[in-house]
């Protein structure tokens, strides 16, 4: 997984894997997160092409889309493969930092943030409470949500392992 840098946090939004300019960019991990950490925030473009990049993440703030969402797989060399289940999603202003945490003090702090996210979300799984109680890792996917007349909104989808 590519990671952004503090100097150029959005570089990969407009760059392909080889460093060339790209309208679709490349999904990437926020530089304040660790790929094998307990909380990963990943950004990617929503495109007009179905099943391409973060296209399928974009509508997850709607309950029907979240209910139909499948699991996400995250794999690193050091930690191996982990499966994350969808928990909740929201349509938020792009500058709402509350939806983009980069670390948690401890497992309880992580679960407190997840409980907050479920309360604030537009869409929440019906089995959210036990998922939050058992969560040990979180994957947050962020993309444009394509809502007409809302160019500054983003979909933030929260998955838990």
Range of the domain at 112: 2-160
Q: CATH code at 129?
A: 2.40.260.10
The predicted pLDDT at position 51 comes to 60
- 3-class secondary structure, 54: coil
Q: What is the pLDDT of residues 7-18, one digit of tens each?
A: 776 777 778 788
Q: What is the pLDDT of residues 73-118, one digit of tens each?
A: 999 988 899 999 999 999 999 889 899 888 888 999 999 999 999 9
Span 133-140, average pLDDT? 96
Number of structural domains, the chain? 1
**Closest C-alpha to 10, from 24, 36, 30:** 30
């Amino acid at each position: 997984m590519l990671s952004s840098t503090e100097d150029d946090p959005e570089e990969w939004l407009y760059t392909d894997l080889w460093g060339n300019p790209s309208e679709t960019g490349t999904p990437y991990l926020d530089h304040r997160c660790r790929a094998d950490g307990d909380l990963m925030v990943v950004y990617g473009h929503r495109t007009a092409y179905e099943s391409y990049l973060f296209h399928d993440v974009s509508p997850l703030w709607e309950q029907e889309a979240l209910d139909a969402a499948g699991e996400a797989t995250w794999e690193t060399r050091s930690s191996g493969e982990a499966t994350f289940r969808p928990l909740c999603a929201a349509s938020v202003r792009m500058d709402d930092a509350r939806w983009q945490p980069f670390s948690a003090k401890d497992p309880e702090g992580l679960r407190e943030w997840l409980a907050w996210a479920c309360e604030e979300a537009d869409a929440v799984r019906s089995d959210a409470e036990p998922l939050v109680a058992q969560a040990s890792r979180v994957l947050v996917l962020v993309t444009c949500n394509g809502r007409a007349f809302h160019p500054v909104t983003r979909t933030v989808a929260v998955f838990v392992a």
